[in-house]
Structure 1
Amino acid sequence: MFIRLFPANGCAMTTTLRHHLILLLTCGCVFFLNLGAARLFDEDEPKNAECGREMYERSDWVVPTFNYELRTDKPIMLYWLMLSSFNLLGVSEFSARLPSAIMATVTVLTVYQIGWRFFGQAVAFWSSIILSSTMMYVVSGRISTPDATLIAFITLSIFAYIRLQPVGEKGWSQPESAAWPKAYLPANFSGYVLLYALMALAVLTKGPVGFLLPCSVIGLFLMCRGQAPHAPQDLSWNRPLQSANELVNYLAAFITPSRFFPALWAMRPFTILLVVGLVALPWYITVGWMTNGAWLEGFLGSHNIGRFSSAMEGHSGPIFYYVIAILMGFFPWSVFLPVTLYLAASQRHRFEKDNQGLLFLLCWAGVYVGFFSIAQTKLPNYVLPCYPPLALLMGWTLVRWQEGSLTLPNWSYIWGARSLILSGLALIIAFPIVSYILLPGYWAVGLVGCLPIAAGCWMLTQNQLMNRKQILKGIGVCSIAFVSTVFAGITPWISQAQESSQLGLSASRLSDSSVPLATYQYFAPNLPFYAERPVLRHHSSEEVAQFWKEHPDGVLCVRDQELSQLDDVMPKDVVVMEKIDRFLRPYQIVLLKRRSTAPRTAAQPSVESVIR
C-alpha cells in the first residue's frame, strides 16, 4: 500500500513526510555533521578503525587483526561495513564512522515506525527525537564501534515481530484468537525467517547476544500474556521475610515449566538455530578454520563467557551500575526517566489501546538492563539496545501528558526543569576549573551549559503559561542543539590535543610507512592507525637496544620521564624529532630517531636536541 505524501489539494506536506524530513535533518545534525573532524577517541574506536584499515590494506574480508595481530574482541559485521566504506571513500575517520552514523539513523526511523504502530504518529515522532538527542546514543552513532549496528539490527528484528502482530480496535497485539502462545507469534514460516535472519545479522555484529536477548524479550512478553499469575500487591518493607517469600512464590509461578516450555516451543527454537546458522555460521566456521580455532576460543571464551562470569579489564560495578549509567547516558532527557517508568508501569491499564505496547517496551528494556546488571563486566554501552524502548516509553508519557490524558506530577516536572538548570550551571562552573588543571585553553567549552539552562528555564516559563504544546518543542530544540554542539563542535576541537594521534601523524610525516615504529613502556591504540604501520611494544632496555640494532632507521616513542632508563642503550646519534604534551596527563611523549637517518624536512626543528 502506497503512502499518500500530499493531501488532495497537493500543497501542504502530510504529517508523515514532514516528520521524516525533520528526523532526517535531525540525524544529519547529530550524526553526520563534522563526523570526520574529530580524531579517533578512547580505546575501542581506534582499535576497530585500525582493524578495518589493516583488513582493507591486505584485501582480507575474513580475519580481523589489530596492530597486525589477531583481534578476537568483535565479529565481522562492523569490519565489513567499514571495508565497504573504505573502498568507496578511502581510509579516514569519516569513512570509519560512516557505517555507525547510517545505522543510528536507521534505528531512529525504525523507532518511528514502532511508535506509530503502538501509539500513533505524535508519540512516534517525539520518541525518535528523544532517541536521536540523548548523549550516549549520539556517541554510538558517531564512533566506529559495533554498538550502533547492533542496536539497528536488534531494533529491526523487534520491529519485524511487532509488524507481524495484528492491530485491531483494541490496539496492538490483541488477537481475536485466544490460543496462547501461537496467537502472539508470526502466522507463517516466512515471518519467523525474517525475524531470525535479522537477529542473525546481530550475531555477526556482537555474537550470541544478538539473538539470545531479543528472543528473551519476545519470550518474556509471551509469558506476560499467558494468564500470568497476579503480582503480589501487599509487599512491605515492614515485613521483609513475608514479602520476599511472596515474591519468590510469584516468580516460581510465573516461570513454571507448564508456561515456559510452551512459549519456548511456540517460538520454534529449531528454526532459530537453522536461520541463525545459515546466516552467521559460514563466517564463524571460516574464521575458525583460518585461525586454527584461535579466534573462536578468544571470542566465545574470553569475550562472552569470560565477560559475563568475571569483571574484565577492571570494568566492574555494583548491581545498580546501569541505573546511574542510563541516567547519565540519556541526558538531557533523563530528567523525565524515573517518572516515565513509574507512569508507564502503573498507568498502562488505563489505556486499553496502548496497554500491550507499553508492556512489550517494559519487557524489552527490562531484559537488557536485568541481564547486564547480573553480568560481572559492566560498561555503559552494553545497555544501549534498551535506549529505543526507553525513548518510546518517554515519548508516550510526554505526549499523553501534553494531550491531557496523563497526569505528570508537578513536583517531578519542576524537579526535571531545575535539574537541567543545575546541570548547565555545573558545566559552566566546573569545566573552566578542569580546563585550568588538565586542558589549558579549553575553558570556553563550559559555555555549552547554557543550553540545558535554556531548556530548564523554558520548561518553567511555559509551565506557568500552561502552554504544554510548546514545552516539548523547546526541549527538543535545546537537546538537539546541545548534542550537536558537544559532538560536532567541541569534540573535534578537544580531540586535537590527543598526543597519540599527533605522534602517529608525526611518524607518518617524518618517515616512510616501511620504517619500523616502536614504543617503550607506552602505547595508545591510535598509533597504528595514524602511523599506518605496526607498532612494536617494548618493556625493557634490552628490547630497546635490540630494536636499534635491528632497525637503525627506526622511530621510538617514549615518555620523557623514562628517558633516563635508556641511557645505557641509547645510540649516541639519537635525536628528538618531536615532543608532544600528553592528553590529560603530565609529562611529554618524545619521538626519537637516529641522526644519521633523520630526514631534513621543512617541519623539522633547525636545532636538534641530542640525547647523551
Structure 2
Amino acid sequence: MILLNSKKRLITLLIVLVCGIIIFFLGLGTTGLVDETPPLFAAAARAMSESGDWITPKVNGMFRFDKPPLIYWLMGFFYSLPKNEIWDSYGTLSARLPSALGSLFLMLMIGDTLFCWPQKSDRQFLTPIVASLGFALSPLIIIWSRTAVSDALLTGTLGISLLLFWRRMASENNDQCISAWVFLGFAILTKGPVAFVLALLTITSFLFSQKNWKTLLCKINPKKGFLITILISVPWYLLELVKEGKPFWDNFFGYHNFQRYTSVVNNHAEPFWFFLYIMILASLPFTPFLFHGIFKAFEDFLKSSKQSCNVAETLYIYSLCWLISVLIFFSLSATKLPSYWLPAIPAAAILITNSFINLKNSSKSYLFLWNFNILIFFGVTMAFFFSNNWLSSINDPEMPNLASELISSGIIFKAKLFFSLFTLLAIILFSLKSRNILLYLQILLLIGQSSLMPPIRKLADTSRQLPLRNISKLILDIRERRETLAMIGIRKPSLHFYSRQIVFYEPSTEEGLINLSDRLNTDRRENYEDQPDYEYKSLLVVIDEYSSGRHQWSKINHQKLGKFGIYNLWRIQKSDLNNYSKFLENSGYKSDWKNRKVEKF
C-alpha cells in the first residue's frame, strides 16, 4: 500500500509538473520585456550581476529601494550564467524565470498537500490535479507568473510557507517546522514586511477556530522559527540601512510600505470592495465554485469553533482564513493593485476543490452551479462573437493599429472557435452528469491558453516592444563619443535596459525641456558599464510622434536618425537645447526636476 501510494504520488506530481511547464515556461524568453515595471527589475538585477554590487539595487544610475533583493539576486544569478547573451538574447528569460519557478513550485506543493492529506475522506487521484490547475489557470497567475516582477515570487514563497505551516500542524510526527520559517524568510526578502503580516493573520485566525490551538501553536515552534526567519531576512535590511542610511529608510519603509498602505500612490485609488471584484475575475471561468467552496468552508469553520475536529481535515478552513486575511488586509490599504490579490489565489484554488468534492454528493447544488457556470462560458463566447463592438473602443497610443492587427492575425477567430467548443463541451458533460467535469474543462482550458496566449504575446511584443529594441540597437550603432541619451514624452524604462545607457526621462512640456537642459549640466550619474560624456556637444533624443509635434520640440534644430513605430531618434546640439531653454525660462517657465521623488525618472 505504501509503495502504491508513493507511485501514485509520483505520477500525480509528474502530471502537475508537465502542466506547470506548459503554462509557465513555454516561450518564456521569446518576447521582450513589457514596460513599465519589468525592465526596472531586470535592469537592477543585470546591474548587480555586471557590477558585482549585490547589496544595493540600482537602475539608470539611481538607487531602487522599492523591493528587497531576493528577486534581484535570482534574476542576477541567471544573468551571471555562462553564455547568457546567447541563450537569453532578449534578456527576458533570466528576468522571468524566478516568477515562473516560484509559481511552479507552489503548484507542486498544492498538489502534494492535497494528495498526502485528502480532505473529507476524499481519496480521488484527481483532486490534487484539480487544485493545482485551479491555481495555475487563474488569469492573474498566467499573467504574473510570466512577468519579471516580484509578485509571483512572493506568492510562491509565502504560499509554500503557509502550506508547510498547515502540514506541520496536521502531521502526527514530531519533525521540526524549520522549512516553513525558512520560506517565510524568503518571502520577507521578496517583498518586505507584508509577507510576515499576511502569514501572521492567516495562522492566528486559523488557530482561533481550533479548540486545541495551544497544541497546534507549539507544533510550529514559533520561538525558534521566528529566530530562523529573522536570521534569513533581517541582515540585508540592516546592511542596507548602515550603507545607505536615511534614503533607504525613507524610500523603502516610508514610501513603499507605510505610505503605500496609508495613502494613495501613483493614482492607484480603488473602492473598498475592489478585491471582491478582482476575486471574481481571478478565478474565472470557475468563480461560482470558489464561492460555493467558501460557503462550505465557512460552515466547517463554525463547526470547528464549537467542537474539536481532526486537524488533518481542516485544510479548507485554513484556506478560508488565508483568503480572508489577504482580502481584509489589502482592502484596508489605500493603494490597491490587482497584483495584490495574487497571494490569495492558492487558497482560492484549494477552496475550488472543496466545491469539487462536495458537489459529488449534492445534486441540487450541482445543477445550480453548473447552470450558472455555463452562462459564464456562454457570455465569454458571445463577447468574442460581438468583438467588433468593443475592439473599436481600444485606444492605445503606443499600439494605434491593435484592433485591426488582432483581427488580421486570426486571434479573434481562434478565440471564438475555442470558447464555442468550450461551452458546447460543458453542456455535453453536464447533460451526461460527469463527476469530473471540472477537471475535463480545466484540461481544455490548458490546451486553449497554450494555443491562444503565445500569438497574443507575440503580437503585443511586435507592436509595443520591438520598436524600442530596434531603436536601442540603432543608438548603439550610431552613438558618437558616448553621447548622453534622453527620452521625451512616453517614458519607457526598457530603453535603458536595451540600450544599456543612462537615460534622462522628461515630459514633452516646456518644463520638461528646461529640465533636460539643466540636468545635462548638473545631474551626473554613474553607469556601471558605459559612462556618458556629459560634456560632448550633442545628445541623442528618443521622442514619440505625439511629443515631436509640440511647439517647443518641433522648433529645435534636430537631425532625424531613424523612426521605429511611434518613436523617432534625433540628434540635437546642446547649444540649441540650452538656448531654447533660456528662452522658455525668460517666458516664465521653471525647472522642477529636483522636486521629484528619487524612485521616479
Taking structure 2 as the reference length, what is the TM-score of the superposition?
0.80
User: What CA deviation, in whole Å up to 9, does each residue of 1:137-167 have, x standing for no partner?
Assistant: 1112111111221112112212221222245
The secondary structure found in structure 2 opposite 1:472 is helix
Q: Which residue in 2 is equivalent to 1:28?
A: 21
Structure 2: distance between partners of 1:512 and 1:273 = 55
The secondary structure found in structure 2 opposite 1:53 is helix
Structure 2: distance between partners of 1:521 and 1:64 = 26
Q: Which residue in 1 is equivalent to 2:451?
A: 485
Q: Displacement of 1:113 after TM fit?
A: 1.9
Q: Which residue in 2 is equivalent to 1:251?
A: none
Matches within 5 A, 1:355-434: 356-401=314-359, 403-404=360-361, 408-430=365-387, 433-434=390-391
Matches within 5 A, 1:480-519: 480-498=446-464, 499-511=467-479, 514-519=482-487
Q: 2:30 aligns with which of 11, 16, 37?
A: 37
Contact 1:34 / 1:489 at 8 angstroms: preserved in 2? no
Q: Displacement of 1:551 after TM fit?
A: 3.6
Moved more, 550-559 or 145-154: 550-559
Q: 1:46 aligns with which of 28, 39, 50?
A: 39
User: What CA deviation, in whole Å up to 9, does each residue of 1:493-515 have, x standing for no partner?
Assistant: 22211154444344345437944
Contact 1:62 / 1:283 at 8 angstroms: preserved in 2? yes
Q: 2:571 aligns with which of 593, 605, 608?
A: 593
Matches within 5 A, 1:121-270: 121-166=125-170, 190-191=176-177, 193-226=178-211
User: What CA deviation, in whole Å up to 9, does each residue of 1:210-229 have, x standing for no partner?
Assistant: 222112211111111138xx
Contact 1:427 / 1:446 at 8 angstroms: preserved in 2? yes
The secondary structure found in structure 1 opposite 2:571 is strand
Q: Displacement of 1:371 after TM fit?
A: 0.7
Q: Which residue in 1 is equivalent to 2:596?
A: none
Structure 2: distance between partners of 1:187 and 1:262 = 12
Q: Give the CA RMSD over aligned residues.
A: 3.2
Q: Displacement of 1:278 after TM fit?
A: 1.2
Contact 2:29 / 2:92 at 8 angstroms: preserved in 1? yes
The answer to whether residue 99 in structure 2 is matched with residue 100 in structure 1 is yes
Q: 1:493 to 1:279 in 2, by over 3 A?
A: same
User: What CA deviation, in whole Å up to 9, does each residue of 1:85-121 have, x standing for no partner?
Assistant: 1112346111111111111100100111222224254
Q: Which residue in 2 is equivalent to 1:301?
A: 254
The secondary structure found in structure 1 opposite 2:365 is coil
Q: Which amino acid in 2 is paired with 1:453? A: S
Number of aligned residue pairs: 528
Listed as ranges, the gaps of 5+ residues in structure 1 are 8-13, 169-185, 228-258, 582-587, 597-612
The secondary structure found in structure 1 opposite 2:486 is strand
Structure 2: distance between partners of 1:513 and 1:429 = 55
Q: Which residue in 2 is equivalent to 1:256?
A: none
Structure 2: distance between partners of 1:328 and 1:134 = 9
User: What CA deviation, in whole Å up to 9, does each residue of 1:448-474 have, x standing for no partner?
Assistant: 2433332222111111122233x2343
Q: 1:64 aligns with which of 52, 57, 62?
A: 57
Q: 1:541 aligns with which of 503, 506, 513?
A: 513
Q: State the identity %.
A: 22
The answer to whether residue 406 in structure 2 is matched with residue 442 in structure 1 is yes
Matches within 5 A, 1:285-324: 285-324=238-277
Q: 1:542 to 1:359 in 2, by over 3 A?
A: closer
Q: Displacement of 1:6 after TM fit?
A: 9.3
Structure 1: distance between partners of 2:64 and 2:362 = 53
The secondary structure found in structure 2 opposite 1:496 is helix
Q: 1:592 to 1:405 in 2, by over 3 A?
A: same
Contact 2:290 / 2:355 at 8 angstroms: preserved in 1? no
Moved more, 198-207 or 541-550: 541-550
Contact 1:82 / 1:95 at 8 angstroms: preserved in 2? yes
Q: 1:311 to 1:520 in 2, by over 3 A?
A: same
User: What CA deviation, in whole Å up to 9, does each residue of 1:183-219 have, x standing for no partner?
Assistant: xxx967x42x433222111110010112221122111
Contact 2:12 / 2:111 at 8 angstroms: preserved in 1? no
Q: 1:504 to 1:408 in 2, by over 3 A?
A: farther
Q: Which residue in 2 is equivalent to 1:235?
A: none
Contact 2:9 / 2:112 at 8 angstroms: preserved in 1? no
Listed as ranges, the gaps of 5+ residues in structure 2 are 395-399, 522-533, 575-601
Q: 1:94 to 1:364 in 2, by over 3 A?
A: same
Moved more, 277-286 or 82-91: 82-91
User: What CA deviation, in whole Å up to 9, does each residue of 1:65-93 have, x standing for no partner?
Assistant: 12221111110000000011111234611
Q: 1:552 to 1:497 in 2, by over 3 A?
A: farther
Moved more, 535-544 or 415-424: 535-544
Q: Which residue in 2 is equivalent to 1:86?
A: 79
The secondary structure found in structure 2 opposite 1:497 is helix
Q: 1:134 to 1:199 in 2, by over 3 A?
A: same
Q: Which amino acid in 2 is paired with 1:374? A: L
Structure 2: distance between partners of 1:409 and 1:502 = 54
Contact 2:60 / 2:502 at 8 angstroms: preserved in 1? yes
